[in-house]
Amino acid sequence: MPGLRERHMDRTRAAIVDAALALFQEQGFTETTVDAIAERADVGRRTFFRYFPAKESVLFHDIENQIQATVDSLIARPDDEPPFEALIWVLRDSAGRFSADLDKRTLLAKVAHECDNLLVHHRAVIMRRLEDMLTAEVARRSNVPVDDLATGAAVAAILAAYGSAIRRWIFQGANEPLQPLVETALAAAQQALSTSR
């Protein structure tokens, strides 16, 4: 059971998220300041930045759990499965988790049209973290060093395709299923990687 400090931190984090999401819906992402979020959450500005490095981060407040779930899924794949096949299977599966929350995906689409920084943050911070963690697991499965250039480049290419599908889906309003876009993008990446020899 979490201790008093952990429970307090969880409550503070939840208050910041709730305040930010409510303000984004009420007045728009661009018009919402960090100070306004902190005031609504009844915390100081410095407290906000202890929990989130940027306003954009609040929209992805549960991303660490999603990243870990994706990595755990890869770890759980059969050991004798080719590493990149396992990775593509896991990314296909994760598309369903990513698009499950209708309210969140609607808000993401709205904010993405309002603010270019959202997808810059997604690419530079979130996809980079996912790439690092998945590369480490693919390297382990492939029995190569974690800094193996070929492995890192292949994982980056596959994730770039996956990220392209997510960005297209968000810009189209996030109303349609994400899965077909992910399937198309990953199939294109597989074909490119298999024919570029």
Chain segment 107-116, per-residue pLDDT in tens: 777 777 777 7
Q: What is the pLDDT of residues 110-137, one digit of tens each?
A: 777 777 777 776 777 788 889 999 999 9
151/186 Cα distance (integer angstroms):
17
Structure pTM?
0.78
Domains along the chain with CATH numbers: 4-53 (1.10.10.60), 62-195 (1.10.357.10)
Q: How far is C-alpha 135 from the geometric centre of its chain's CA atoms?
A: 16
Helix (H, G, I), strand (E, B) or coil at 34: helix
Helix (H, G, I), strand (E, B) or coil at 188: helix
